[in-house]
Structure 1
Amino acid sequence: MPAASSSWQELPSTYVGGIDPAYPDEEPLNDLLLGLGDIDRGRSYLAYCEYRSVAVMYDRLVAARGESDRFVVDGFADAAARIAGLRGVSRDQAEKLLNEAVALRDRLPEVLDCLRDGVIAPWQAKLIVSRTDLLDGQSVTPEIDATIAQLLRSRKGTWPRKRLRDMVDRTIFRLDPDCVRERRREALDERGVWTEARGDGVAEITGLMAAENVRIAAAAVAALADTACEHDKRTKPQRMSDAMFALLSGTSFECQCGRDDCTAQIPEPSTVPPVDAKIVLHVVCDEGTLEGRADNPGFMDGHGVISDEHVRDIAARPDTVVSRLVPKGTEPDADGGFTLPAHGPSDSYRPSTALATHTRIRDGYCVEPGCGQSAFKGDLDHVDEYDHDDPESGGQTTSENLNSKCRPGHLLKTFGEWLDDQYRDPTGRLVTEFTTPEGLTLPGPAETNEDLFPGLRRIRFRAPPAKAPPRSEVPEEDRPTRAGTRVADKHARRRAERSRNRRRNGGPAPF
């Protein structure tokens, strides 16, 4: 159909980023960034209007006609055909839009209101719809809808894809665990392997299996792919494809560098296991769930929230090693919590194994807004920088002063001009914030795995008694002196900025 004239260009600039087209280069960078937020809220409202219109079409063309056993020309297909014809999209896309509109209006009305008010983005609404498909016809659905909406509205911070998925999953599990367990059993019954021709001489193989088996299999494929030498010109995905074929067919995986001095050490196809690599899959749960005394959900690194039944199935595997964050026999504190050492007595910089594990479990993912990198694969970073010259004056090795960052995020914070901060707000929630080089403070994740495992808050860390520092062979009066370095000055400036931010937000002073 011919393009119609649009009135969008007549909107006040406030609604579309606030850029003056005559002087675009004069807009402050912070205003441009905040303008993107205005555009995002407008996009959410437009999506809300779209879903509302599509839902009315559903009422007129589907619900009003009643049930039909006709395949092509029933009301649903008729409605989808209209949308597909208008937009020039496939019927599948149009049918998906219809299903989302009805699900949000009828199953998740409070989540739909969050979309209307710009609390969530359209992609977040779609994700919530997909994670709540199992709730159709369940009496607990309105409570789940209200709980999810309340969390979305009340939590300060961002909802990256994986954290949002985990929040929805744990909410459903706690309010309707039987439904989650039954869905897992049904999903396992559907496991299998399929192939599909993709054209141009390639095809796709798909295997559906338990999540832990997928993680282990993928790690084995990646480990074999990494045995090629550094001169192999294939990309990592290409090497993994070839490694997967070698593992499935029992043939040899070859390095393709073409060099006579190739240093690749590739195992023989008959080797069992086929790769000499230690594959570690992290699954977290509380002790009661592990022992069958509780039915709380668990967390599988790289997958997300899993049921109590799934946790115990994994624990029963012969290759599972169970490690406890709080060692057996540890005496509890008077309030029922536990206090563990934050670091070794001789090195106050490096966290203890318990503190490092606690931090990775608590964070779950990199704390940068939007990042989904596993905390178990990231770096542990001192938020308030550790002072190696004078540890007492710098950031301490404590639970509240450590978090997990992906390597790029860690490098950007360390060598760039970004500032991050982390503290507990008056309600006890762990707050993470990031400040751009221009001084705009952005919220970090809206929640951590403390929401999934509240018992993490009962574990505290103390610094063990420090040994006296070794005496230097150089007399004190002969030691060279120097003014503060650039790095020291930057750290001091960052501490002052964190103090200002916390006074503004009502948080405690930096460490």
Structure 2
Amino acid sequence: MTTAQTPTTPDAGDGTATAPEGFVYLDTPGLPVLVPEAYDRWGPTQQRGYLAQRHINAAEARSVTYAYDCLREAGDTGPGETSDGRPDRRDPHDIAAAALRAAMALSRRAASRLIDTAVDFTERLPRCLALLTAGWIGLFAAHTIAEETRTVSDEHMPALDALIAGQLAPTRRRTHPPRIGPLRKMVTKAILRTDPVGAAARAKTATGGQDVTLTPVGDDLTEISALVTADTGAEIMDRIDALARTAGTDDPRSIGELRAAGLLALSRGWTSLPDPDGNLPGDPDAQPAVRRVLLHLYHHEGTTDLAGYGPVTDHTLARLLQTAETRVSDLADLADRASAAAGRYSPSDALRHFCQGRDGTCVFPGCQAEATHTDLDHIIPFDHDDPAAGGRTTSDDLGGLCRHDHNLKTEGIWVYWRNPDGSYTWVHGPNHPDPDPGVAITVEPTGPLAHLAAPRDPETSARQRRAAEEGETGSAPTRRRRPHRRDRRAEQRRRLRAEAHQLLHPDTEDPARPPTPEHDDPPPF
């Protein structure tokens, strides 16, 4: 067992910690927590949510400390002896895990995972441990960091710990820790920068763990899970999406059902989707799905990102370059408001790829939808009647939003603008139930091209902020033709009762059903 390193940042609970610039410690019942200096200007709802998350994180940090204490009490100091002098071969890890299971009602797997994370954070990641004990990050983030760095050699860990903690730590602009998806990519990129040779070696040997498993989940459904290489996964998903797109406009199935049907078609060698019963191709004469797969790679400062996945090692990059046709494009100059393309509504492929590579994910706070599955939103709405009067189709004026969050913005519930440094600020819109001007959340782009996120046009940020504050970026009338979630749940239960009635009484007529409410059509994005 290696000697534990002493965290360089004091524990927030010991009264000696110094808050980072832009933050203060707020005394709350139980423990002090880090809050931004802007905290006092927030509304009570945002304050409560922020404090709740910090308290949860700090409580989870205590469970990590407890797990490490259990391991020490179990005698994890090397081989020992039993009372009769024989070597004691009991694994202290198992003894500690049993103590955790008894005290916290955890499964064996969960207890073992908690101990592993406690060991990694205490002995190999002391700076990250300080962020955990301060309530800045939570247990899920700690598990992610520990598991991603577990196979890195000890000699690289001090530099890696410092790099990860520095990119995680709160700043004036970083008022919230990164989401799990961007966090995993950030840690992977830090590993590639700290130990590129070791990362490539680990990627090469990791292929031995590939597998496909089937897990029953109830209601006559199963979950298929596949662990494959990054490029293989991207190729399979691209083919499934291509098959899903062969569905007709009158196909009643959801996108999830269409992807499941696409997986079945792929397994049977079909070039079009099966019918809703899953037996035969729905239309033998349908246009075959595209079989050629296009993978987008972004390269910057020695690291390479695979679109839809994240950073990959040199081992994976070399394999791709050996088997693929390559084309290199410069995506950096895409913000000319005076160009003819800026006056067209639909962005070019190059512009789309740049924005996806810049944002990384949907840019609404907390959303982890991959940028490759988002809409490109005109932050200032595009004026179809007079294109010169509205938002322009440039990288400055486009932000990636998943369809759900795009609707929130279009309906004026939340609005946003791009800051001079390329980050996004979100505030309550004119149709929000609580249009509190004190709520302002900053989101950093997390894609491999995030270093190019700053607007090229110096007037962009002021123009977008002015439009947002005047209600011009998201002021469409609030309309919910889709039923509310509570109503959808009630309708689902009612339908299941009707189905059960039909199974028990097949000779009776199906109970009368009210007409299904019309689902909301997407705005004309």
Task: Return the offset for 1:133.
Answer: 1.4
Task: Return the offset for 1:306.
Answer: 1.0
Among 301, 306, 310, the residue aligned to 1:304? 310
Q: Does 1:373 align with 2:369?
A: yes
Query: Which whole-Å deviations, capped at 9, do the CAs of 1:226-254 have from their partners, x for residues lacking one?
Result: 55556767665555455434533557963
In structure 2, the residue matched to 1:254 is 274
CA shift in 2, pair 1:285/1:458, >3 Å: farther
The CA distance in 1 between the partners of 2:469 and 2:219, in whole Å, is: 59
CA contact (8 A) 2:243 2:289 kept: yes
The CA distance in 1 between the partners of 2:208 and 2:292, in whole Å, is: 29
In structure 2, the residue matched to 1:483 is none
In structure 2, the residue matched to 1:66 is 79
Task: Return the offset for 1:77.
Answer: 1.1
Task: Return the offset for 1:340.
Answer: 7.0
Query: Which whole-Å deviations, capped at 9, do the CAs of 1:385-420 have from their partners, x for residues lacking one?
Result: 455677666545443332211222222112223220
Among 205, 208, 213, the residue aligned to 1:186? 205
The CA distance in 2 between the partners of 1:492 and 1:341, in whole Å, is: 25
In structure 1, the residue matched to 2:135 is 118
CA shift in 2, pair 1:462/1:355, >3 Å: farther
Task: Return the offset for 1:132.
Answer: 1.2
The CA distance in 2 between the partners of 1:496 and 1:243, in whole Å, is: 37
Task: Return the offset for 1:58.
Answer: 0.8
Query: Which whole-Å deviations, capped at 9, do the CAs of 1:469-492 have from their partners, x for residues lacking one?
Result: xxxxxxxxxxxxxxxxxxxx9767
CA contact (8 A) 2:391 2:397 kept: yes
CA contact (8 A) 1:233 1:257 kept: no
Task: Return the offset for 1:267.
Answer: 6.6
The CA distance in 2 between the partners of 1:396 and 1:230, in whole Å, is: 30
The CA distance in 2 between the partners of 1:367 and 1:76, in whole Å, is: 41
Task: Return the offset for 1:90.
Answer: 1.8
CA shift in 2, pair 1:459/1:189, >3 Å: farther
In structure 2, the residue matched to 1:285 is 299
The alignment partner of 2:436 has SS state of: coil
Q: Does 1:448 align with 2:443?
A: no
In structure 1, the residue matched to 2:230 is 211
CA contact (8 A) 2:42 2:438 kept: no
Where does the alignment leave 5 or more consecutive residues of structure 2 unmatched?
1-25, 31-40, 429-434, 460-465, 475-525
- Map residues 461-476 of structure 1 onto 2, 5 A cutoff: none
CA shift in 2, pair 1:249/1:449, >3 Å: closer
CA contact (8 A) 1:367 1:432 kept: yes
Task: Return the offset for 1:308.
Answer: 3.3
Task: Return the offset for 1:357.
Answer: 3.1
CA contact (8 A) 1:229 1:263 kept: no
Among 264, 279, 283, the residue aligned to 1:265? 283
CA shift in 2, pair 1:71/1:240, >3 Å: farther
The CA distance in 1 between the partners of 2:341 and 2:308, in whole Å, is: 34
CA contact (8 A) 2:334 2:395 kept: no
The alignment partner of 2:106 has SS state of: coil
Task: Return the offset for 1:212.
Answer: 1.3
Q: Please give the TM-score of this superposition, normalised by the length of structure 2.
A: 0.67
CA shift in 2, pair 1:116/1:13, >3 Å: closer
Among 52, 72, 76, the residue aligned to 2:65? 52
Where does the alignment leave 5 or more consecutive residues of structure 1 unmatched?
1-11, 17-27, 287-294, 327-336, 464-488, 498-511
Q: Does 1:322 align with 2:327?
A: yes
Q: Which moved more, 1:87-96 or 1:166-175?
A: 87-96
The alignment partner of 1:435 has SS state of: strand
Query: Which whole-Å deviations, capped at 9, do the CAs of 1:182-229 have from their partners, x for residues lacking one?
Result: 111001244455567889987766544322112212332344355555
Q: Which moved more, 1:33-42 or 1:241-250?
A: 241-250
CA contact (8 A) 2:79 2:87 kept: no
Q: Does 1:410 align with 2:401?
A: no
Q: Which amino acid aligns with 2:426?
A: F
Q: Which amino acid aligns with 2:275?
A: C
Query: Which whole-Å deviations, capped at 9, do the CAs of 1:296-322 have from their partners, x for residues lacking one?
Result: 11111221111234224223324x442
Q: Which moved more, 1:297-306 or 1:81-90?
A: 81-90
CA contact (8 A) 1:197 1:204 kept: yes
Task: Return the offset for 1:70.
Answer: 9.3
Among 145, 158, 164, the residue aligned to 1:128? 145
In structure 2, the residue matched to 1:140 is 156
Q: Which amino acid aligns with 1:256?
A: P
CA contact (8 A) 1:433 1:444 kept: yes
The CA distance in 1 between the partners of 2:255 and 2:386, in whole Å, is: 43
CA shift in 2, pair 1:203/1:366, >3 Å: closer
The CA distance in 2 between the partners of 1:232 and 1:82, in whole Å, is: 54
CA contact (8 A) 1:232 1:257 kept: no
CA shift in 2, pair 1:280/1:374, >3 Å: farther
Q: Please give the TM-score of this superposition, normalised by the length of structure 1.
A: 0.69
The CA distance in 2 between the partners of 1:354 and 1:275, in whole Å, is: 23
CA contact (8 A) 1:339 1:462 kept: no
- Map residues 154-233 of structure 1 onto 2, 5 A cutoff: 154-155=170-171, 156-157=173-174, 158=176, 159-193=178-212, 206-225=225-244, 227=246
CA contact (8 A) 1:43 1:121 kept: yes
Q: Which amino acid aligns with 2:103?
A: L
Task: Return the offset for 1:97.
Answer: 1.1
In structure 2, the residue matched to 1:493 is 470
Among 327, 343, 347, the residue aligned to 1:348? 343
Q: Which amino acid aligns with 2:182?
A: R
CA contact (8 A) 1:44 1:122 kept: yes
The alignment partner of 1:130 has SS state of: helix
CA shift in 2, pair 1:375/1:343, >3 Å: farther
The alignment partner of 1:213 has SS state of: helix
CA contact (8 A) 2:422 2:454 kept: no
Q: Does 1:357 align with 2:374?
A: no
In structure 2, the residue matched to 1:430 is 422
CA contact (8 A) 1:61 1:75 kept: yes
Tell me how many residue pairs correspond in the alignment. Answer: 418
CA shift in 2, pair 1:116/1:265, >3 Å: same
CA contact (8 A) 2:70 2:100 kept: no
CA shift in 2, pair 1:338/1:346, >3 Å: closer
CA contact (8 A) 2:381 2:473 kept: no
Query: Which whole-Å deviations, capped at 9, do the CAs of 1:27-63 have from their partners, x for residues lacking one?
Result: x993123212111111111112221121111112141
CA contact (8 A) 1:15 1:39 kept: no
CA contact (8 A) 1:282 1:301 kept: yes
The alignment partner of 2:67 has SS state of: helix
Task: Return the offset for 1:71.
Answer: 11
The CA distance in 2 between the partners of 1:131 and 1:443, in whole Å, is: 28
The alignment partner of 1:134 has SS state of: coil
The CA distance in 1 between the partners of 2:356 and 2:407, in whole Å, is: 18
Query: Which whole-Å deviations, capped at 9, do the CAs of 1:331-376 have from their partners, x for residues lacking one?
Result: xxxxxx9687456427525455544432222112211112222323
Task: Return the offset for 1:106.
Answer: 0.9
The CA distance in 1 between the partners of 2:377 and 2:250, in whole Å, is: 33
CA shift in 2, pair 1:405/1:192, >3 Å: closer
Q: Which amino acid aligns with 2:161?
A: D
Instruction: Supply the RMSD in Å over aligned alpha carbons.
Output: 4.3
